[in-house]
Amino acid sequence: ELAISYRSDDELDKTVHDLLTEISQEADMRNCFIEADAWEEGTERRW
């Protein structure tokens, strides 16, 4: 479980996007890839 504090939906969207991008880039540098699902509990939000 990962908790991210945020002030606006746009800020959360950017933070999650940046995090998933960085994780993917780290995997790519090691000739790997990731599969990830991210969601906000209690809502229908998915990234």
Convert the pLDDT of each residue in 1-32 to its tens digit.
889 999 999 999 999 999 999 999 999 999 99
Q: Where are the domains of the chain?
A: 1-47
Cα angle: 7, vertex 9, 10; to 5 degrees? 100
Question: Considering the entire predicted model, what is its pTM?
Answer: 0.82
Residues 6+ apart with CB under 8 A from 26: none
Query: What's the first-to-final CA gap in the chain, in angstroms?
Result: 15
Position 17 scores a pLDDT of: 96
